[in-house]
Structure 1
Amino acid sequence: MDTPSLSDDLRRYFALLWQWAWLLILATVLTGGVAYLVSRRTTPVYQAATTLLINEAPATRSADYASVLASERLARTYTELITKKPVLEAVIAELDLPYDERELKSAIQVELVRDTQLIELKVEDTDPQRAAEIANTMVAVFTDQNQTMQAQRYAASKESLEAQLADMDAQIQQTTEALARLTVDEGEPENSAVKAERDRLEIALSQFRQTYAYLLQTYEQVRVAEAGSTSNVVQVEAATQPESPIRPRLMLNTALAGLVGLMLATGVIFLTEALDDTVKIPDDVTRHLDLPVLGLIARHEVSGEAPLITVVEPRSPVAEAFRSLRTNIQFASVDYPLQTLLVTSPSPADGKSTIAANLGVVLAQSHRSVALIDADMRKPMMHRLMSLPNRAGFSALFVRPTTSLDGALQETAIPGLFALTSGELPPNPAELLGSEKMWEIIHQVNQVAEVMEIDSPPVMAVTDASVLAPRVDGVLLVIRPGKTKLAAARQAVEQLRRMGANLLGVVLNEVELGRSRYSYYHYKGYYYAYHYSDAEGRVKRPSRRRNGGRGRTEGSG
């Protein structure tokens, strides 16, 4: 049994995909078309973006590792704070947006640009102008709130110092006015009490001015400290109104949907192929049954009145295929020429009767006398295929006291071809076929025909074929690709081999040549194709012609 190579598997997979190319194209176009229509009907969404720079406080700037970590934490903190509820509420109130905080937050993306102090703020909205307004307003609101929040750290100290400065200023003003009232005219004597009061007020005024100067200096130091430790963000690139939406991306969605449809269709095809347990190609026969393929008979149509293609169209490609089958059978039994040939199939509806009848025709056309026996006494077909009466036939010979073929073996319209129809259907066909009378009948037929071809019931349906197989020179197994189960074919072959049958090979019937795997099949180094020559020896490709009122004939069983 040959092991399939990688190239054989690839060729098989390619042929499978080519066979189902219509499904792949349909799935791709259908899914892509649905995605296109849905994308066209979807409301477009626009995105506006702005860039912020973290203006870090001068007092915190340093080149050491701790300062770097602090800067990174500050940046992450700002990316979280900018989407918090206070900012969102202020933006909604200022722009009068038809959103709540949750809906607005879901439309905002804040990303920290790696290894920088930049923050990228993106806003999505169905209105491009509103998206830009939201982005710019969020920056302004966050900047104001951040400044207010950081200014509150020094507010208490500044308020206390401002109150003390105001108090000192008031006392200085009062002391100055008191000194002004103690001033006397020149030339008038100054008593000791007035002098003492003046001195006291001057000393107090000096102290108040020193205290005021100290408080003022302290106040300035607090302001410097506030300015040096306050971090904020600066908008380095304002958001502008976007011109095109970010979604739906019409072409991208269509392409991706088409690709998904193509992949799904491919998966379905391979899954169907994996689950399909029928015989499909000649490689299945050689790989699983270890039998040669002696012929490939294409699906064809013939008229109901003349159902045999070898009779109606003897020069057709299908008729040539039967002649090729005849030649292959002859080469399969060179050492022991075939006199009795059994034609059977694993299961019903494989077309074995049609194969047997057409093969009998081409055997007779090779100037040999051929007897075609319909041993299928359960569902006979040979009398219909040969257009013969079925009154006295094969079953009637079993009840005659002496074995005589008088009136049973009928001549057909084909010179050299005789047919022994089934006759009346007996209740016990298997017992009749296994009796000694059966072999007497076969001996009598061999006296008048060079080749005897027996059409038997399917192997898996009844035991008739198993009974006949050991007594004939060769067995031809008919398989219908896509219909015959591989398990049934394997079991039929095993059963025939256990009975000691000489299995010549397999005929693949009703092959659909239109499919890629059969249209020009490369099989074991040979190409299988149909052709014929005209009178001058030129090779011609016949055109397919169909007669009116024709129907496809599959044969029996």
Structure 2
Amino acid sequence: MEESISLKEIFGVIKKRLLLIMAITLGAAVVAAVISYFVLTPTYESSSQFIVNQSQQQDPNVQYNVNDIRANVEIINTYNVIIKSPAILEEVIEELGLSYSAGKLSENINVSNAENSQVVTVTATDENPVAAVDIANTTVAVFQDRIQEFMNVDNVSILTEAQLSPNPSPVAPNPVLNIAIAIVLGVMIGVGIAFLLEYLDNSITTEDDIDKHLGLPVLGVISIISEEDVRGNHMAFQANRTKRGGFNAAQKKSV
């Protein structure tokens, strides 16, 4: 038999386990904040831009045509590979005295260009903002010096050098984003656990549970009466009885 659940039952489960869901959500947000602020190491980015053309025309009156520009754009992918190659990065490491390998430095460098653009952007990432600036500028400078050894290129123009801002801000981690993601995941996990607990709960607590699980009709309901309710009702009954008949067994008639 196929079971279905109504929106009323869904909201009932959420309301029943609301404290659990809120606790899980708050815990996830706190964990994300602690990790973002105290565990993860901040990293900084710095970018340098340059433009590369093939050998300059011998005749200054001859202008580049569309095919020349298209060829330059298509060959930029080759430049990207050259920039991140050990031939370039090992020299960068030597000049800056870096303590890691060319492979590690390659992971911290991103080379990109806009679509149909000859402008190449080299972005360096490092835990030290000063080192990020030096890596970006030195990588472009080394590429500018050595590109002629690999290709027929002699016109590398640096458009923008990487510069250190007065108050550099880390690009990662992003605590606000991490906490927001943790809250969403906390709510999802909390709701999932709430429905799991409700699914595993086989106790019978309502008349509907008797009809649903046992298939038996409900003949009557016995309410739970505490001792305080019994005592309170008994005292109220005695007071009402005295008012109605004027008789109280606890009182003695004086002679």
Match of 1:239 in 2: 162
In the alignment, the residues of structure 1 paired with residue 172 and residue 181 of structure 2 have an alpha-carbon distance, to the nearest angstrom, of 14
CA distance in 1, matches of 2:156, 2:8: 64
Q: Is 2:58 the counterpart of 1:55?
A: no
Q: What secondary structure, in the 3-state scheme, does the structure 1 residue paired with 2:173 have?
A: coil
Please give the alpha-carbon distance, in whole angstroms, between the structure 1 residues aligned to 2:208 and 2:155: 76
Cα distance in 1 for residues equivalent to 2:205 and 2:118: 67
Structure 2 unaligned regions, length at least 5: 58-62, 235-239, 241-255
Counterpart residue type for residue 30 of structure 1? G
The change in CA–CA distance for 1:279 and 1:143 in structure 2 (over 3 A counts) is: same
**Aligned with 2:26 (options 25, 29, 37):** 29
Q: Secondary structure at the match of 2:6?
A: helix
Correspondence list, 1:150-299, <5 A: 150=151, 230=153, 232-241=155-164, 243-287=168-212, 289=214, 293=218
Q: 1: CA distance between counterparts of 2:46 and 2:223? A: 66
Count how many residue pairs are aligned between Structure 1 and Structure 2.
Answer: 225
Question: 2:205 and 2:113 mapped to 1: Cα distance?
Answer: 60
Q: How far apart are the structure 1 equivalents of 2:154 and 2:16?
A: 69
Tell me which residue corresponds to 2:8. Answer: 11
With over 3 angstroms needed to count, the CA separation of the structure-2 counterparts of 1:61 and 1:23, relative to structure 1, is same
Q: Is the 8 A contact 1:135 1:239 kept in 2?
A: yes
Mark the CA change 1:127 to 1:287 in structure 2 (over 3 Å): closer, same or farther: same
> Which residue does the alignment assign to 1:82?
83
Instruction: Give me the whole-angstrom Cα distance separating, in 1, the residues matched to 2:82 and 2:48.
Output: 16
Deviation, structure 1 residue 234 = 2.4
Q: Which amino acid aligns with 1:230?
A: V
Which has the higher Rg, Structure 1 or Structure 2? 1
Report the CA distance shift for 1:9/1:62 in structure 2 as closer, same or farther (over 3 A): same
Percent of matched pairs sharing the same residue: 31
Q: Which amino acid aligns with 1:97?
A: L
Greater length-normalized contact order (CA 8 Å, ≥ 6 residues apart): 2
Compute the TM-score of the two structures, normalised by the length of structure 2: 0.75
Partner residue in 2 for 1:144: 145
Query: Shift of the alpha carbon at 1:138?
Result: 0.6
* Structure 1 CA distance for aligned equivalents of residues 33 and 223 of structure 2: 42
Please report how far the alpha carbon of residue 135 of structure 1 lies from its aligned counterpart in structure 2 after TM superposition. 0.4
2:130 is aligned with what amino acid? Q
Equivalent residue for 2:35, pick from 23, 27, 38: 38
Q: CA RMSD in A?
A: 3.0
Q: Is the 8 A contact 2:84 2:106 kept in 1?
A: yes
Q: Secondary structure at the residue paired with 2:46?
A: strand
State the Cα distance separating 1:232 from its structure 2 match.
4.1
User: Which segments of 5 or more consecutive residues in structure 1 lack a partner in the other structure?
Assistant: 151-228, 304-308, 316-533, 535-557
Q: Do structure 1's residue 302 and structure 2's residue 239 form an aligned pair?
A: no
Offset from partner CA, 1:368-394 (integer Å, 9 cap, x none): xxxxxxxxxxxxxxxxxxxxxxxxxxx
1:43 counterpart SS class: coil
**Deviation of the 1:149 alpha carbon:** 3.9
With structure 1 as the length reference, what TM-score do the two structures score? 0.37
1:130 Cα deviation from its structure 2 partner = 1.2
Paired AA for residue 233 in structure 1:
V
Within 2, Cα distance between the matches of 1:314 and 1:293?
28
Give, as a single letter, the amino acid of the residue that structure 2 aligns with 1:82: I
Cα 1:126–1:291 shift into 2, 3 Å: same
Q: Is the 8 A contact 1:46 1:244 kept in 2?
A: yes
- Counterpart code for 2:162: A
Deviation, 1:299, is 5.8
The whole-number CA distance in structure 1 between the counterparts of 2:84 and 2:225 is 74
Distance in 1 of aligned mates of 2:100 and 2:223:
70
Q: How does 1:356-371 map to 2 (within 5 A)?
A: none
Q: For the residues of structure 1 that align with 2:66 and 2:22, how far apart are their CA atoms? A: 62
